[in-house]
C-alpha cells in the first residue's frame, strides 16, 4: 500500500550487490566457531553462492513469485539461500527453528511453498507434510553445510541471470499472529526492505569499516533484516555466531565495532564482572529491540561500559519505524524518533490525532510499511486507515521533544525473549484438553526473558490435571518460547459485565509468579 519512493525501479538484491565491497575478495562473513572449523566468505563467494542457489531453484522448476520455506540452523549457506531468493524473484519464508510439526504444517498449507528446506532431523516429518500439502520439493541443510541441498548444488552446471524485479515485487513473507490465534503472513516487498535497510544503515552510520557481531537468529526480522541489511548495504563484515552464547560473544567482541541484541542478551552480558568497559572500549554501537528494554538495564549498561544502548521500535509488518538518535540523547524508556521516510502519529479511539503527551493508538506510514497479509485482503484492509496509515496495535505517547514512548500493547501480546507470543494460540490448545473448561494466558515479568506466559486454568467438574502435565502437553505442540512458564488452577476466570475475561486482574494477581524464574 506504500510507494517505494526512490527504490521503485530496483530490487533489494541489486542494491546489496552494488553495496558490497568493490574488492570482491574482501571478507564479508565469517563463522568462527563451527563444528568443522571456521568458515570465511568473501563478497565474491557470497554472490556466487546466491547465484548458484537461485539457479538450482530454477532448475527445479521454481519461477518468480514461488515461495521458498526455510527451517534450518543458522549458517552462511542459509544467508546465501535468502540472497538467492532475492536474486531469483522467489519469496523467502523463514520459519522459527523451534516450530513443531503442527506449526510448520499450518504455514506450509497457507503459503504453499514450492520448496521447503529443513534440517535433516526434520526431514521425515516435513516430507509427510509436503506430501499432504502437495509441496513439490523438500531438501535438507544442516549448520555445517551438509544435506541434500548441498549435494544437488554440487551437480549444478548452469547459472541463470538475475530475475528482472521491481521494488513492488514480493521479497518475503514473515508470519505473525493475532487475536484469532491463526498466524498471518506479512507480505514484504523489495522496496519495503530496501528503504528500511538504507534508512537504518544511514541513521546508525554503518560503513565498510564496521564489523557486526551477529548473534541473532535469522528466522526473525531483527536478525535477518535489521542486522543483515545494515551490514550488507554498507559492505561491512559480520562475525556470524550460530546463536547467542555469552562466552562466544565475550570472545569475539574485541574484534567487533557493533552489536545488536534483545534485552535478554544485555541482562546476560551484565550478569558477570568479566563484561566491562575495557572489553568494549573500541565498540561504537549497541542496539536493542524486539522487546522493551528496562530502564534499569539501560542505566546499568551505561554505568558499566560508558555506552548508551540505542533502542528502536519496529514490527514484522513495517520493519523499523523509530530509533533513538545516533547523535544526541538516547533516552531510556523511549524508542526515539521516526526514521527517515517514516511518519508516526498517535490517534484517539474516535479517530482524532492527539497532541504531545496524550496517549492513544500508534499509527505509522512510509515505504517500509508492508502491502498486506498473504491471502487475507479483508484483514489487510481493516489494519489501514485512509491515507495509508497502518494501525500498529500499540499504545503510545509522543512527548514534547518528539520522542516516542510505548505505553502498552493491544491484543494482550506477550514478548518473551524478543519473540512474540500470542495468548489465543496457546489458549486454544489448552482448551482442547479434555480436563479443561477454559483458560487464559497472560504475560508477567520475567528477569531473563523480560516477559513470560502464565496459564490460568479452570478445570471441568470432577477432572484433575496438574501443572507439570499441562506444561508438558503444550511443550509437545508448540515452540518452547510459547510455552507458559507456570500454570495455576482456579474456580472461575474474572469477567466484566460484557463477559470478557479481565486479563488485567490476572496479570496483577500472578505478577510475581515467575519472579524466581
Average pLDDT, the chain: 93
Do residues 393 and 406 make contact, with C-beta atoms less than 8 angstroms apart?
no
In this prediction the pTM is: 0.86
As a dihedral over the C-alpha atoms of residue 290, residue 293, residue 298, residue 299, rounded to 10 degrees, the angle is: 180
CA distance 372 to 425: 21
Burial class (CB in 10 A: 0-12, 13-18, 19+), 231: buried
Strand duo 91-94 + 67-71: pairing: parallel
What integer pLDDT is reported at residue 103 of this predicted model? 93
Of 3-12, 128-137, 340-349, 436-445, where does mean pLDDT reach its minimum? 3-12
Confidence label for 516 from pLDDT (cuts 50, 70 and 90)? low
CA distance 505 to 309: 33
474-509 pLDDT, tens digit per residue, is: 999 999 999 999 999 999 999 875 567 888 899 999
Matching CATH number, 7-305, of 3.20.20.70, 3.40.50.12780, 3.90.25.10, 1.10.760.10? 3.40.50.12780
361-388 pLDDT, tens digit per residue, is: 999 999 999 999 999 999 999 999 999 9
State what percent of residues in the chain have pLDDT above 90. Answer: 84
CA distance 293 to 445: 12
CA distance 291 to 311: 10
CA distance 10 to 121: 38
The DSSP secondary-structure symbol of 222 reads I
Q: Exposed e or buried b for every residue in 418-456, given b needs 16+ CB within 10 A?
A: bbbbbbbbbbebbeebebbeebbbbbbebeebbbbbbbb
CA distance 437 to 249: 46
Q: Which grid cell is 397?
A: 505517547
Tell me the CATH class for 413-509. Answer: alpha beta
Burial class (CB in 10 A: 0-12, 13-18, 19+), 123: middle
CA distance 130 to 118: 12
What integer pLDDT is reported at residue 315 of this predicted model? 93
Do residues 366 and 340 make contact, with C-beta atoms less than 8 angstroms apart?
no
Other C-beta atoms closer than 10 Å to the C-beta of 131 total: 10
pLDDT greater at residue 407 or residue 116: 116
Confidence label for 4 from pLDDT (cuts 50, 70 and 90)? very low
Do residues 206 and 159 make contact, with C-beta atoms less than 8 angstroms apart?
no
CA distance 435 to 467: 12
What are the extents of the domains in the chain? 7-305, 413-509
412-444 pLDDT, tens digit per residue, is: 778 899 888 888 889 989 999 999 999 999 999
Asked if the domains 7-305 and 413-509 are classified in one and the same CATH topology, the answer is no
Amino acid at each position: 500500500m506504500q510507494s517505494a519512493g526512490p527504490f521503485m525501479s530496483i530490487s533489494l538484491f541489486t542494491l546489496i550487490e552494488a553495496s558490497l565491497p568493490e574488492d570482491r575478495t574482501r571478507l564479508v562473513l565469517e563463522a568462527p566457531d563451527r563444528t568443522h572449523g571456521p568458515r570465511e566468505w568473501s563478497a565474491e563467494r557470497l554472490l556466487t553462492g546466491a547465484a548458484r542457489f537461485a539457479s538450482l531453484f530454477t532448475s527445479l522448476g521454481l519461477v518468480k513469485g514461488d515461495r521458498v520455506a526455510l527451517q534450518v540452523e543458522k549458517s552462511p549457506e542459509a544467508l546465501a539461500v535468502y540472497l538467492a531468493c532475492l536474486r531469483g524473484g522467489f519469496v523467502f519464508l523463514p520459519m522459527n527453528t523451534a516450530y513443531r510439526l503442527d506449526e510448520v504444517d499450518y504455514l506450509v498449507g497457507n503459503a504453499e511453498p514450492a520448496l521447503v528446506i529443513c534440517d535433516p532431523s526434520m526431514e521425515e516429518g516435513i516430507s509427510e507434510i509436503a506430501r499432504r500439502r502437495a509441496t513439490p520439493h523438500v531438501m535438507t541443510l544442516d549448520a555445517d553445510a551438509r544435506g541434500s541441498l548441498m549435494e544437488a548444488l554440487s551437480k549444478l552446471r548452469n547459472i541463470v541471470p538475475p530475475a528482472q524485479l521491481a521494488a513492488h515485487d514480493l521479497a518475503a513473507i514473515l508470519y505473525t499472529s493475532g487475536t484469532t490465534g491463526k498466524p498471518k503472513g506479512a507480505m514484504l516487498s523489495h522496496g519495503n526492505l530496501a528503504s528500511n535497510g538504507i534508512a537504518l544503515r544511514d541513521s546508525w552510520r554503518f560503513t565498510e569499516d564496521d564489523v557486526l557481531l551477529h548473534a541473532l537468529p535469522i528466522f526473525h526480522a531483527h536478525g535477518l533484516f535489521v542486522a543483515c541489511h545494515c551490514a550488507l548495504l554498507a559492505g561491512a563484515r559480520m562475525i556470524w555466531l550460530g546463536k547467542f552464547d555469552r562466552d562466544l560473544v565475550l570472545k569475539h567482541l574485541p574484534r567487533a565495532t557493533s552489536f545488536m541484541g534483545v534485552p535478554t542478551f544485555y541482562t546476560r552480558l551484565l550478569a558477570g564482572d568479566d563484561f566491562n568497559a575495557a572489553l568494549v572500549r573500541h565498540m561504537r554501537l549497541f542496539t536493542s529491540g524486539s522487546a522493551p528494554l528496562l530502564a534499569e538495564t539501560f542505566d546499568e549498561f551505561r554505568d558499566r561500559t560508558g555506552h548508551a544502548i540505542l533502542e528502536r521500535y519496529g514490527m514484522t509488518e513495517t520493519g523499523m519505524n523509530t530509533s533513538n538518535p545516533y547523535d544526541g540523547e538516547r533516552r531510556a524508556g523511549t524508542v526515539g524518533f521516526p526514521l527517515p521516510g517514516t511518519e508516526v502519529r498517535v490517534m484517539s479511539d474516535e479517530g482524532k490525532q492527539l497532541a504531545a503527551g496524550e496517549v492513544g493508538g500508534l499509527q505509522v506510514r512510509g515505504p517500509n510499511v508492508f502491502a498486506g497479509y498473504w491471502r487475507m485482503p479483508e484483514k489487510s484492509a481493516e489494519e489501514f486507515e485512509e491515507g495509508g496509515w497502518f494501525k500498529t496495535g500499540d499504545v503510545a505517547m509522543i512527548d514534547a521533544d518528539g520522542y516516542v514512548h510505548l505505553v502498552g500493547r493491544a491484543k494482550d501480546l506477550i514478548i518473551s525473549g524478543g519473540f512474540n507470543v500470542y495468548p489465543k494460540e496457546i489458549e486454544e490448545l489448552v482448551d482442547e484438553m479434555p480436563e479443561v473448561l477454559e483458560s487464559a494466558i497472560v504475560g508477567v515479568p520475567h528477569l531473563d526473558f523480560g516477559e513470560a506466559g502464565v496459564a490460568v486454568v479452570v478445570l471441568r467438574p470432577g477432572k484433575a490435571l496438574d501443572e507439570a502435565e499441562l506444561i508438558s502437553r503444550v511443550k509437545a505442540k508448540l515452540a518452547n518460547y510459547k510455552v507458559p512458564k507456570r500454570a495455576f488452577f482456579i474456580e472461575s476466570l474474572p469477567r466484566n459485565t460484557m463477559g470478557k475475561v479481565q486479563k488485567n486482574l490476572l496479570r496483577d494477581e500472578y505478577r510475581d509468579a515467575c519472579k524466581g524464574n
